[in-house]
Structure 1
Amino acid sequence: MVTGSCKGNWCPVEEGHVTGWVHSHFIAMVSPALYCVAGVAPGDILNLRAYPSAQSRVLTKLDRHQCGIAFLPYAVGGWQKIRANGWEGWASRRYLSGQ
């Protein structure tokens, strides 16, 4: 995530708890963090997966009321690549909605 103004082609970034500088050529556009988990049953969670597949490894679990989710510019079938809580992974698009 870009955290401030770029200086020339270099931009200050943060990834999880690590900060540094990245050349702007390597920065991809993401949506504002305006999405939330939606439609998940009480007592259940939404799995954030490593790949766009229900059989893929679970990276982390998102609460059924999680918001502040950013869409990354990748989608496959019914899967959307997202960024949430410092994690990047894939979630079923049917469980994500705008705020």
Structure 2
Amino acid sequence: MKKLIMSLAVASIATLSFAHTPVNNTAPTVISQSQDKVEVKPEDLPEPVKATLAAAPYSEWKAEKAYLVPGENETKYYEINLSKGEETATVKLDKDGKVIQ
């Protein structure tokens, strides 16, 4: 009987020692999740952006792909991949059609 009681006591102590979870006293870490650019159809670009692309020096270029990209201070801009024959270029425009860089 003594062996049974001792075995239960040892098993209880062992269980309690493994069940102990250490406390983490460090401050929580804030993770900022950045958004990726989102593809936009060139025909769905805002009118001011289309107007800039239709004017010189972009009028001879064709918009192949466009992306809405998150910028600093919660601003957004459009990154537009252009092509003219074998040449390619990228232009960044704000929502008002102004070139940024």
TM-score norm. by structure 1 comes to: 0.26
Higher fraction of strand: 1
Higher fraction of helix: 2
Rg larger for: 2
TM-score norm. by structure 2 comes to: 0.26
Which has the higher relative contact order, 1 or 2, with Cα contacts under 8 A spaced 6 or more apart?
1
